[in-house]
Amino acid sequence: MLRRRRQKSNNQYVIYPEYFDVNLSRAEGRRISRNKAVENPSINKLSFVSSKLKLNYTVQKDKYYSKRWWNRQGRIIVEFERSEEGVAEFSKTEVITKIAALAQKAVSKKKELTKAEEEAEERARRRTKSAKR
């Protein structure tokens, strides 16, 4: 008996957090190179990045990636328009690459902020020690 393939919607891309996880191999579902991937991507981070990119998206938190069915992280559905010729304005690979680049910038900014906060706390501790003397 032949199985019927489910028709994909022509105007949607499905994006999972596993596509961006630096701890996963390509066989486990990572879609971008390790140097562009981030640690522990979550659906919240991806939705934040998608909103910054001004993508028309929907978050589905109860869904899971089929290769990692035990880990229900959710997914994002990115909707787009096609031109009159039927060509999409951008490919799924381009969307994933843009999300990855912005997610990596957000993670590096967060690291810089935490490092700056730690340095400020250390300076404050030094000042209080020198003031006590």
Give pLDDT, residue 76.
92
Question: What's the rounded mean pLDDT across residues 113-130?
Answer: 70
Cβ atoms of 19 and 29 within 8 Å: the answer is yes
Helices (H), 1-133: 43-52, 92-132
For the chain, the 3-state helix, strand and coil shares in percent, each to the nearest 5, are 45, 15, 40
Calculate helix-pair angle for 92-132, 43-52, nearest 10 degrees: 100
Please check the confidence at residue 25 and state whether its pLDDT lies above 80: yes
What predicted TM-score, i.e. pTM, was given to this entire model?
0.68
Burial zone of 130 (CB within 10 Å; 0-12 exposed, 13-18 middle, 19+ buried): exposed
Domains and CATH numbers, the chain: 12-132 (3.30.56.30)
Cβ-based neighbours of 47, under 8 Å, separated by 6 or more: 57, 59, 76
Q: How confident is the model at residue 73 (pLDDT cuts 50, 70, 90)?
A: confident
